[in-house]
Amino acid sequence: DIQMTQSPSSVSASVGDRVSITCRASQGINSWLAWYQQQPGKAPKLLIYAGSSLQSGVPSRFSGSGSGTDFTLTISSLQPEDFATYFCQQSNSFPFTFGQGTRLEIK
Amino acid sequence: QVQLVESGGGAVQPGRSLRLSCAASGFTFSIYGMHWVRQAPGKGLEWMAVMSSDGSNEYYADSVKGRFTISRDNSKNTLYLQMNSLRAEDTAVYYCAKDDDGSGNSQLGFWGQGTLVTVSS
């Protein structure tokens, strides 16, 4: 199975800050990587797919990059509604696997 | 609009069975792959199973292979998860999610709100 490792596990930041979260796959997954945002008590929401494609309706301050084994989710200017937990997920092969999550907290 | 509504969760004793349902609306259910994903209390997301749009292909996580079975009824726009031999570690919120492709081999574009399964004696 492909292991997905996110870093950091948690990060504190302020409104307006630029934040980056990384995700590393245990083997190459081309660009078959998605990012999800989960608010407390809510279902996950797709933000980015295919490594860098922005899901319809998602603000342009979210961006994704990377291919192979190393990927990054960047939020260019944090808004209050962005404080949540973020997960990466590979769809290169079954079983699909998720990273352990990164909790983004208000400083 | 796209809707996925899970049901069938609840409290069950170890070793017993439970069947979850996911009722879909707002899109053509029969042309999309569908997944089950779970989240234990306070933990991360764990992918469980997928079924292709026509039901011809299915895959499982090792942790549930042989115990859980995914199925779908395209005439009823409903996805199912039959869970047998339940264990305490199966306690979680179970989400159904719509794949963005018929094969089920793509990103999970839309998720239901989840149903809680608690396995305890």
What pLDDT score does A68 carry? Answer: 97
Segments of chain A with pLDDT less than 70: none
Predicted confidence band of residue B119 (pLDDT cuts 50, 70, 90): very high
Model confidence pLDDT, tens digit, residues B3-40: 999 999 999 999 999 999 999 999 999 999 999 999 99
Task: Check: CB of residue A97 under 8 Å from CB of residue B47.
Answer: yes
Q: What percent of chain B has pLDDT over 90?
A: 98
Q: A-chain residues within 8 Å CB-CB of B37?
A: 44
Contact with chain A for residue B51, Cβ under 8 A: no
Q: Which of B45, B62, B111 sits opposite A95 (nearest CB)?
A: B62
CA of B17 vs chain A CAs: smallest distance (Å): 23
What pLDDT score does B60 carry? Answer: 98
What pLDDT score does A16 carry? Answer: 96
What pLDDT score does A9 carry? Answer: 98
Structure tokens at B26: 């707002």
Model confidence pLDDT, tens digit, residues B71-113: 999 999 999 999 999 999 999 999 999 999 999 999 999 999 9
A49: how many CB neighbours lie within 10 A of its CB? 23
Please answer yes or no on whether B45 and A101 come within 8 Å at the CB atom: yes
What pLDDT score does B10 carry? Answer: 98
Task: Please spell the DSSP secondary structure of A48-83, one letter per residue.
Answer: EETTTEEPTT--TTEEEEEETTEEEEEESS--GGG-
Arithmetic mean of pLDDT, B39-49: 98
Phi then psi for residue B30, to 5 deg, are: -70, -5
* Rounded to 5°, angle at Cα B76 from B73 and B80: 45
What pLDDT score does B23 carry? Answer: 98
Q: Which of A36, A91, A97 sits opposite B106 (nearest CB)?
A: A91
CA A67/CA A61 separation, integer angstroms: 20
Task: Check: CB of residue B68 under 8 Å from CB of residue B82.
Answer: yes
What pLDDT score does A83 carry? Answer: 93
Structure tokens at B61: 């996580």
Q: B-chain residues within 8 Å CB-CB of A55?
A: 109
Q: Which of B61, B106, B111 sits opposite A44 (nearest CB)?
A: B111
Please answer yes or no on whether A50 and B44 come within 8 Å at the CB atom: no
What pLDDT score does A90 carry? Answer: 98
What pLDDT score does B91 carry? Answer: 98
Please answer yes or no on whether A43 and B111 come within 8 Å at the CB atom: yes
What pLDDT score does B62 carry? Answer: 96
What mean pLDDT value characterizes chain A? Answer: 97
